[in-house]
Amino acid sequence: MENLRISDTAAAGDAVQLNGHGHNQEAGRFTSHMTILDNGPAQFIVRVLKMNGSTMLIINSKESEVFDELAVGMPPRDSTKSDALSSTIMGGYGQTESSVLAAKLSKRYRRQFFVSLNIGGDRLVTPLFEKSLVTYMQSHLDHFV
């Protein structure tokens, strides 16, 4: 098995490609991306791992990176249905911030999303953050979808 080397010298916003040896380049491509989003006085680190058919987002405040919860969102199989499904895999109970965001992204982009949202948001911070994330995603869609 081939060892993968990832350089931690990539700057914010750079993408790193991880390709398995001897595999189809398109089918086996994983890309990672990192950016910092400004949301008024708060800054958030967004780490992205784009895989074949799914995307993982790990989102933290710039001051503290943690991995407290993880959720998955999946688009409906039936294209006539509009609601995405989501479930918390790790962390909180019930409908967490991560599961809500995973469902929204899966519905919008018709793709499976794994989300770890660790910003400790409230009713004002979370919607503003989501708006800035979606705006960034639309401008840099190739890193996410």
32: in domain: no
pTM above 0.95, yes or no: no
Domain count, the chain: 1
112: in domain: yes
- Beta-strand relationship, 112-118 and 54-61: parallel
**Which helix (H) or strand (E) covers residue 39, if one does?**
strand 30-39
Residues 116, 48 contacting (CB under 8 angstroms): no
Residue 120 domain boundaries:
37-45+52-143
6: in domain: no
**pLDDT, position 120:** 80
CATH of the domain at 135: 3.30.230.90
Tens place of pLDDT per residue across the chain (145 aa): 343 333 333 445 554 444 443 333 344 689 999 999 988 778 999 999 999 999 999 999 988 889 989 999 999 887 677 788 899 999 878 789 999 999 999 999 999 999 999 988 777 788 888 999 999 999 999 999 9
| Angle, helix 125-139 to helix 97-109, in steps of 10 degrees | 30
**pLDDT, position 28:** 61
